[in-house]
Amino acid sequence: MDSLQILYVLLFSLFLAKCYSQQEDFLQCLSNYSETNITQNIYTPNSPTYSSILEYAQKNPRWLNSSHPIFIASPREESEIKPVILCAKKLGLQIKIKSGGHDYEGISYRSESPFVMVDLSYLNKIKIDLNEETVWVQAGATLGQLYYAIAKKSNVHGFPGGVCFSIGTGGIISGGGIGTLMRKFGLAADNVVDARVMDVNGDILDREEMNEDLFWAIRGGGGASFGVILAWKLKLARVPEKITVFTIHRRVVIQNDGTGNDKYVEIFFQALFLGPVDELIPLLKEKFPEFDLEKKDCFQEPVVDCSNRPCIKKECRESSWIGSVLYFYGRRTNESLEVLLEKSIPTQKNYFKATSDFVKTPVPRKGWKMVEKLFLEEERPQMILEPLGGKIEEISESEIPFPHRKGNLYNIQYLVNWGDNSESISSQKIAWMRKLYKEMESYAAESPRTAYLNYRDLDFGTNQEDYSYSKAKIWGEKYFKGNFERLAKVKSKVDPNNFFRNEQSVPPYQLSY
């Protein structure tokens, strides 16, 4: 064995020894700070369930081979988080907080530094008060669990959250929370009336105790920059007993090579109307006659065959609010509500890269022609346009950190998906996504070009070792515009030593000097 190999073995041995020492020190520290045996809910890489917890957390499997936590803490009680924070601070470990695990860049479960992942999935209690029309939901509960609990209690209440069932309420609400009801009721974060947060000292604060600055910051500013979101108190939305959902599906051929292997794009226009079919149809005939939607389309299965040819397919359903939740997730409106509670690890891996834009003026025809051309280069590209306006625009841009209010027509989410995560394939897909994003620049909102925090993109920039505020502004103002400075000032008050940090966390304001 030559000297280089010997050095490698020695360095690797030292690394293992260091990890083992950190594990021993951390477990001993937890025992010192805890009144109960919380170590039974602490998992190391040697624990039988460690891999399954981590795999379930990683909704974007691009990060399966990234740096993994030296511990996973899965608290059953809020009080179990305090020793984890105190011991991580004492031993110089980072904390990563996972509620649903949908962070697009995986920063809730990976890091280049030694870290502990706090998995909140067992903190999922939900308490509904229909007299007050509010609900307390712990941050580890998924949207599916929240929607299920509301539907079991009432058929005239809902909540303006997102579409995907497995998203954690802790994450989506702290990032803003775009959803199908937002034009009527605002974002999820607009409907928060109280919260419970554990700060850097392990103290639990409600709205009155945390002061209005911190309460402002966590509703759309990314809660993990400021503490551990434990629970939200949310205002329920009153919805009619009958809601109508419909889809206009067009298949448009964009390249015909004469061999029968046409290339085409699928265009789906989906909408929700807060009322019955009898009210919707006259409105559509007046405002959108080109849809040609008839009442009969809402009470029968569509019969149009869209396979291998251009076509238009119309689908319409009258249902309850919870039926519309199922519909927008690709389920039947009358399907069992138990699907909202499903927790499973996908058998087929779907790797993806995403980013986003806000748009203030309609994209012209030449812009869509450019998109069609680029779509020909990829097998599984997507663009999702989410209409804004309504209640969203009525709220001040500084009411909460989410600033994308005035004059925005819609948000665009760009996605590219693939099934083989080899380095060459991944690099190709990510390069294509960056190309599309660059080509869309002239059609997006500008000064700055803006983006949605919950569609996080580390291409915008990341914190370096100094966690400089002035450097972080480059990406921070994309997400928060002028609200970024206020977020940094709140950070300086509640976490001046920057314990709660990640690649795109809000840094303390004073670190810019």
Cis peptide bond upstream of 448, omega within 30: yes
> What are the DSSP calls for 95-122, one per residue?
EEEESS---TT-TTS--SS-EEEEE-TT
Q: How many CB atoms sit inside 10 A of residue 475's CB?
A: 22
| CA torsion through residues 360, 361, 367, 371, sign | positive
Q: For residue 79, how many other CB atoms are within 10 A of its CB?
A: 15
Sheet with strand 263-273: strands edge to edge = 263-273, 243-255, 311-319
CA distance 168 to 164: 9
For the beta carbon of residue 442, count every other beta carbon within 10 angstroms: 11
**Hey, what are 340's tokens?**
């909202």
Rounded to 5°, angle at Cα 293 from 291 and 296:
165
For residue 479, CA distances in Å to 109, 124, 192, 331, 356 come to 21, 28, 20, 32, 10
**Which residue stretches of 134-206 are H helix?**
143-153, 169-174, 182-185
Give the C-alpha separation, 121 to 169, whole Å: 10
121 with 169: CB under 8 angstroms? no
Residue 152 vs residues 126, 331, 337: alpha-carbon distances, Å: 12, 18, 9
> Using N-to-C axis directions, what is the helix angle for 365-375 and 423-439, rounded to 10°?
170
Instruction: For the chain, report the end-to-end CA distance as a whole number of angstroms.
Output: 50
**How far, in Å, CA of 341 to CA of 357, rounded?**
31
Rounded CA-CA distance 109/63 in Å is 9
To which H or E segment does residue 20 belong?
A: helix 3-33
C-alpha distances in angstroms, 287 versus 75, 296, 297, 385? 52, 19, 18, 20
Structure tokens at 103: 């962070």
Please report the beta strands in 211-363, taking only residues with DSSP state E, as ranges in sequence order. 228-235, 237-238, 243-255, 263-273, 311-319, 351-359
d(Cα 499, Cα 311) in Å, to the nearest integer?
55
Annotated catalytic residues are 455
